[in-house]
Amino acid sequence: MRIGLFFFAKVLWSNSGPSRKEYPSNKFCSKWRKRKGDERRMSAIFGQYSLPREPLNQEDLQIMLQTYKSKYEYDRLQIRETKGVGLGCLLQCVTLESRQEELPFRDSESNVWITADAILDNREELVRLLGLLPGEGEIVTDSRLILASYLKWGDRCAERLNGIFAFAIFDGRNDEMLLVRDQRGMRSLAYTIRQSTLYFASTVAPIAKVAPSRYSKQWLQNYLTAPFVAPDTDEYRSIYEGIRYLPPAHIMKVKDGKAAFRPYWTLERPFELSLASDEDYEERFRSLLEEATKASLRTDSSVGILLSGGLDSTTVAAVAAPMLEREGRRLHSYTHVPISTFKHNGKELVNERPLVEELIDMYPSISPTWVENEALHAFNVIDDWVDILDQPFSFFGNAPWMLSCYEQAAKKGHRVMLNGKNGNGSISFGPLNAHYSYLRKHGRWLELARETWHQKRLRDISWLRAMRIVAGNALSHRGSSKLIAEVRAGLSLVFSPVILEHSTWNDMQNKKDSPFDLMLQLSAPHKTHHQGVIHTLLSLKYNIVTRDPTGYVPLLSFLASLPFEQFVSKGVHKRLLRRAYSDKLPASILNLTRDKGIQSADWLHRIEHEHDSILSAFMECIGDSNIRTSLNQSIMQSGTDQLRSLLRQWYPASSIFRCITIERYMRHGFKGGEQR
């Protein structure tokens, strides 16, 4: 058995620091000793910093450590301390380099300390810029690259890093603590300052244990009525009052008892890139997506992908599968399929298996798993997800199959799970409605007329139908208003209309002056932040890191610089992706006129036979003041038949599930740092 799984060491660092014998020819390089059976995972970091540099309450650091130790598997788990500073790391190795990590680590020459949860994607570039030349049999770990970057560039080092990371650096030369989170927020990092002490951790639970807090009433209210939230909502507030997440692409610097925050990156459109031809745009696009995918595959364990029939995940699969095949490996796909008893009367595509099968015909190295699992439904997985996430959640439709996917992937030994979650704002960006609406607002009628002709030609339809398509998209703001009213009405069947009237759906109601405003909105930091929180907790639970090549920062920056015609023109939406991969994806997936897919369309059908149990659980919620004060008074007087009808409607059913989830969390979760 590996010592790292069962041995816990607490090392007190002296002023001279630990022995450097692990770093034979360069302090940032270490010997590579490959060991059979090593698993490749990520990490959780934690620590505290006494702002006046007074002795730490060592019990607090131990409590934070025990919070992680009691819940997660790990390869190594350590804390290290000096006066006023304590750093910790639960290490779960993912990459070849991570097996040689020693965290927390102190560079004795500079007296700079680091603990990190990181996978860097631009390792070769950093090694070159830093002048690190590992000898034979030596490697440079990701944390050492970050530390070397800090020693060379200071806190500007964050601008040089690319990947998924959250790290803390204590600079003993000037008594300064630095917390940094990656550009997209794919690894979470929470913090609070209590009684002149900074506490931080990858997740909220360890902080809540040592810095007792009440539940945030604003967080609970926003959770219940989402997507409608209070106008002044802090997107990075945690469920606990006073405990907050560091926003993506931010640095928190703590010095002389003061905390300062600085963004170090933002997605913007500083200029419009002009290349000679469409082919040049396509070549650069393919190159960056391949670079992103290659970086995401950096593991010598097996790789999975959450695969639907949409353009984003199928494109990621079409890039990843050949890469793995060249190494003699397979890509393992997981696709949700509705249960056999589900019947759908609409035009939407609810079973994407046929599309995925066509993709697999093109890429036989993809090994599919069809996730149906009739035994699971949104109600009987609530406790599982509350335990995984340590907070209420809202993806009830996806919850059963996502749980099944990760459980099966963990049993098969996958250490990376790909997806194309952020593709709508990146590789497959190019909505007709944003383009046509922009043309209408700026009176570019001739261009709209040309688009009408292209719609007629591409779809082989009459002029009248083509005009209706163009007009409907050009007046899409009316559809947005209709959707806002529809969702508000659905939520009002459960929650107080008064509360909803004083709330806003920011994403729908924010003004978008150009199509690129929509791109920026789809890639907004608060959206990727919430993904990062979930991905961090999933990786700790299942030892699987989630990677999305469509959110690769160099790729996003490239896409944000393109002329909009690369994304939409001549009647074709998502045009760049369709052109670049026209010979690498099945025609059925590229088809402009195919029916729109709906994920988890069978979730209400799955709970049809659980209505009694669900309503019983909901009635228990009414006794909780946090929930009761938010409810529409009429629902508490509704009969069973009326409540059953709500469980057959998407938004009311989701609202009822949110109430149940909060009650379950409060019953089994934590309050004020103490288990209830």
Task: Round the CA-based radius of gyration of the chain to a whole number and report it.
Answer: 26
Secondary structure class of 304 (helix, strand, coil) = strand
Output 54-59 pairs: Cβ under 8 A, ≥24 positions apart. 54/84, 54/196, 55/83, 55/84, 56/81, 56/84, 56/85, 56/86, 56/197, 57/197, 58/86
Domain that holds residue 633: 607-671
Query: Looking at residue 623, what DSSP letter applies?
Result: T
pLDDT at residue number 195? 85
pLDDT for residue 37 is more than 50: no
pLDDT at residue number 276? 95
Residues 255 and 287 in one domain: no
Are 569 and 431 in contact, with CB atoms under 8 Å apart?
no
Residues 28 and 147: their CA atoms lie apart, in Å, by: 8
Neighbouring-strand partners of residue 81: 12, 86
Residues 106 and 154 in one domain: yes
Average the pLDDT over 288-311 and give the result.
95
pLDDT at residue number 15? 33
pLDDT band at 30 (very low <50, low <70, confident <90, very high): low
Average the pLDDT over 140-160 and give the result.
94
pLDDT at residue number 38? 32
For 509, the enclosing helix (H) or strand (E) is helix 506-509
User: Which stretch, 110-119, 125-134, 479-488, has highest mean pLDDT?
Assistant: 110-119
Residues 564 and 470: their CA atoms lie apart, in Å, by: 17
Average the pLDDT over 486-515 and give the result.
78
Return the minimum-mean-pLDDT range out of 22-36, 224-238, 336-350.
Answer: 22-36
Are 197 and 51 in contact, with CB atoms under 8 Å apart?
yes
Average the pLDDT over 132-141 and give the result.
68
What are the backbone angles phi and psi of residue 671, rounded to the nearest 5°?
A: -140, 125
The CB density around residue 641, as the number of other CB atoms within 10 Å, is: 7
Average the pLDDT over 461-466 and give the result.
93
Residue 518 resides in a domain = no
Residue 516 resides in a domain = no
Q: Which residues contact 4 (CB under 8 A, 6 or more apart)?
A: 74, 75, 76, 91
pLDDT band at 95 (very low <50, low <70, confident <90, very high): low
pLDDT at residue number 33? 35
pLDDT at residue number 96? 55
> What are the CA-CA distances from residue 223 to residues 105, 227, 381, 394 (Å)?
39, 8, 19, 8
Residue 532 resides in a domain = yes
Domain edge (last residue) among 451, 485, 509: 509
Domain edge (last residue) among 263, 293, 316: 263
Residue 531 resides in a domain = yes
How many Å separate Cα 204 from the centre of its chain? 16
* CATH code for position 544: 3.40.50.620
Residue 29 resides in a domain = no
Return the minimum-mean-pLDDT range out of 83-97, 359-373, 446-460.
Answer: 83-97
Residues 486 and 621 in one domain: no
Residue 232 resides in a domain = yes
Are 201 and 216 in contact, with CB atoms under 8 Å apart?
no
Residues 254 and 291 in one domain: no
pLDDT for residue 227 is more than 50: yes
pLDDT for residue 257 is more than 90: no
Residues 135 and 223 in one domain: yes
pLDDT at residue number 669? 60
Residues 303 and 401 in one domain: yes
In the chain, how many domains are there? 4
Secondary structure class of 669 (helix, strand, coil) = coil
pLDDT at residue number 98? 52
* CATH code for position 141: 3.60.20.10
Mean pLDDT over the full length of the chain: 87
Q: Which residues contact 355 (CB under 8 A, 6 or more apart)?
A: 309, 314, 349, 586, 588, 589
Residue 358 resides in a domain = yes
Return the minimum-mean-pLDDT range out of 92-101, 485-494, 583-592.
Answer: 92-101
Residues 606 and 336: their CA atoms lie apart, in Å, by: 13
pLDDT at residue number 405? 97
The one-letter amino acid code at 281 reads Y
Identify the CA nearest to 301 among candidates 417, 194, 218.
417
Are 74 and 31 in contact, with CB atoms under 8 Å apart?
no
pLDDT for residue 512 is more than 70: no
Write the burial class of residue 463 (CB in 10 Å: 0-12 exposed, 13-18 middle, 19+ buried): exposed
Residues 611 and 173: their CA atoms lie apart, in Å, by: 62
Residues 303 and 412 in one domain: yes
Residues 552 and 631 in one domain: no
Residues 382 and 474 in one domain: no
Residues 60 and 130 in one domain: yes
pLDDT band at 138 (very low <50, low <70, confident <90, very high): low
Residues 390 and 203: their CA atoms lie apart, in Å, by: 9
**What does pTM read for this prediction?**
0.90
Residues 288 and 186 in one domain: no
pLDDT at residue number 345? 81
Query: Looking at residue 560, what DSSP letter applies?
Result: H
Domain edge (last residue) among 239, 263, 287: 263
pLDDT at residue number 93? 66
Residues 249 and 395 in one domain: no
Residue 21 resides in a domain = no
Chain length of the chain: 676
Residues 93 and 118: their CA atoms lie apart, in Å, by: 10
577-592 per-position pLDDT tens digit:
999 999 999 999 999 9
How many Å separate Cα 154 from the centre of its chain? 28
pLDDT for residue 134 is more than 70: no
Residues 466 and 449: their CA atoms lie apart, in Å, by: 10
What does the DSSP assignment read for 340-376?
TT----SSSB---HHHHHHHHHH-TTEEEEEE--TT-
